[in-house]
Amino acid sequence: MNQRLIVNYEGKPAYDIMLEPDFNMLAEAVSAIEIDNRKLMIITDSNVAMYHLEAVKTALSKNTQTVETIIFPAGEGSKSLDTVSLCYEKLIQSSFDRNDVLVALGGGVVGDLTGFVAATYLRGIRFIQVPTSLLAMVDSSVGGKTGVDFKAYKNMVGAFHQPKLVYMNLSTLLTLPDAEYYSGMGEIIKHGLIKDKVYYAWLKEQAEAIKRRDYDALREMVYRSCLIKRDVVERDPKEQGERALLNYGHTIGHSVEKLKELTLLHGQCVCIGMAAASLLSLNRGFISETEYKDILNTITLFHQPISVNGLSAEDVYAVTKLDKKMDSDKIKFILLKEIGNAFVDPTITKDEMLTAILTILE
Ligand code: GLY
């Protein structure tokens, strides 16, 4: 069974999110957005290329004679202005013009980077997201955030640029290594915690099916997470308010990610950050001890960490203060008012943060 969501931007339908069991509908979906006979550049990484490039190339060859590819080494290290520069060079060499289209085939790194190339090449060309990781499906491919890292700063350079289509072949989740698959669960648990307590309860009930990667459970889970993300980005596309709630767990999570020099996956760091943010919500009296423990149990149920070794609380605090989510001198912290309902709190003190950070250090 397939499913489709329409995403509005500035009040008008902007693109579809398609949930499919294979790549069979890709050519038709691309025709529907009127890019037939334009040049297509598939941008992907060395891992994804091994599994899915041929199938996507074959599907897209029905739309146009020119399907070219750029393959860069897999990993966060490639999410840089150097890779962006290589992409510009290849696009110029292949005479891509404003009417031609980029296709991001891969996980979050590929999607964010390709989106950024699309946002900036010739002042902006169209692009399609074909996410192949759980994290990219439920988070980064939806909502038009694009960008790359700059030196040690994650997502420091970027632009908002909406895709023309997000096409998910859910079967690609079956080839994901366990670590990457479960890392995607971080953003999914986050969706339940910040917006939908019924969904959060459903994730716990369906844990066995989700771990088995049962197709129906995957489809339902990706659909419900995309629905939450879609509704938030429609209401606040440029993160001027509500969209910041999607950063639950990311404030401390990003610091951990930076201090561990990217040896932990993004979703793992988000889970560690959510453990700290949940403790702050408990200490402020918003959630109960039972709910706090339940959140930690749910994170561990999906094989994600709630603590990290080798870091000092002062270092985590210092890096958090430097993070770009700071508004003047205050850290905009996302807390839970209750499970399924988050809010931005700019009043968290240094002592409160240090107490929370200490609970996540081994
Ligand atoms: N990943 C958070 C957002 O798209 O706003």
Distances (CA, A) of 118 to 39, 84, 99, 165: 14, 10, 11, 13
* Secondary structure class of 241 (helix, strand, coil): coil
Whether pLDDT at 87 is above 70: yes
Give the residue, out of 239, 269, 324, 334, with the most ligand 1 atoms within 8 A of its beta carbon, to mutate for a pocket test.
239
Distance 93 CA to ligand 1 centre (A): 33
Give the lowest-confidence range in 227-231, 273-277, 291-295, 328-332.
328-332
Q: What one-letter code names the amino acid at 352?
A: E
**Residue indicated by tokens 């999906």:** 302
- As for ligand 1, residues whose beta carbon falls within 6 Å of it are 139, 143, 145, 239, 243, 246
Give the architecture-level CATH label for domain 3-175: 3-Layer(aba) Sandwich (3.40)
Cα angle 250, 162, 249 (rounded to 5 degrees) comes to 5
Give the position, in ligand 1's atom list, of the atom nearest the Cα of 145.
Answer: 4
CATH, domain 178-359, list 3.30.420.40, 3.40.50.300, 1.20.210.10, 1.20.1090.10: 1.20.1090.10
Give 45's contacts (C-beta < 8 A, 6+ positions apart): 71, 72, 73, 74, 75, 78, 106, 107, 109, 110
145 catalytic, yes or no? yes
Distance 239 CA to ligand 1 centre (A): 8
Give the residue, out of 7, 160, 229, 250, with the most ligand 1 atoms within 8 A of its beta carbon, to mutate for a pocket test.
229
Distance between the two ends of the chain, CA-based, in angstroms? Answer: 44
Whether pLDDT at 149 is above 60: yes
Mean pLDDT of 278-292: 98
The H-or-E segment that residue 306 falls in is: none
Distance 16 CA to ligand 1 centre (A): 18
Give the lowest-confidence range in 1-5, 9-13, 112-116, 261-265.
1-5
Residues 224-250 as b or e (16 or more Cβ within 10 Å = b): bbbbbbbebbbebbebeebbbbbbbbb
250 catalytic, yes or no? yes
Q: Which two tokens stand for residue 239?
A: 């993160």
90 catalytic, yes or no? no
- Report the distance separating Cα 211 and Cα 322, nearest Å: 36
What are the boundaries of each domain within the chain?
Answer: 3-175, 178-359
257 catalytic, yes or no? no
Distance 232 CA to ligand 1 centre (A): 9
Q: Which two tokens stand for residue 92?
A: 């110029």
10 catalytic, yes or no? no
233-268 pLDDT per residue, tens? 999 999 999 999 999 999 999 999 999 987 999 999
Beta-bridged to residue 190, according to DSSP, are: none
Q: Do domains 3-175 and 178-359 have the same CATH topology?
A: no
pTM strictly above 0.85: yes
Distance 328 CA to ligand 1 centre (A): 21
- Report the distance separating Cα 107 and Cα 130, nearest Å: 9
Using CA positions, which residue lies closest to atom 3 of ligand 1? 246
Total length of the chain: 362
CA-nearest of 99, 73, 102 to 88 is: 102
Q: Which of 20, 180, 187, 257 is catalytic?
A: 187
* Positive or negative torsion for Cα 203, 47, 2, 135: positive
Using CA positions, which residue lies closest to atom 2 of ligand 1? 246
Distance 116 CA to ligand 1 centre (A): 15
332 catalytic, yes or no? no
Q: Which two tokens stand for residue 54?
A: 């041929």
Give 80's contacts (C-beta < 8 A, 6+ positions apart): 148, 149, 150
123 catalytic, yes or no? yes
pLDDT mean across residues, the chain: 95
DSSP secondary structure string, 309-336?
SS--HHHHHHHHHHSTTEETTEE-EEEE
Q: Which of 10, 12, 123, 205 is catalytic?
A: 123
Instruction: Return the pLDDT at 54.
Output: 98
Instruction: Return the pLDDT at 90.
Output: 98
Task: Give percent above pLDDT 90 in the chain.
Answer: 91
The H-or-E segment that residue 303 falls in is: none
52 catalytic, yes or no? no
Pairing of strands 341-345, 333-338: antiparallel
76 catalytic, yes or no? no
Do residues 155 and 148 touch, judged by C-beta distance below 8 A?
A: yes
CA-nearest of 274, 270, 240 to 342 is: 274
Distance 42 CA to ligand 1 centre (A): 23
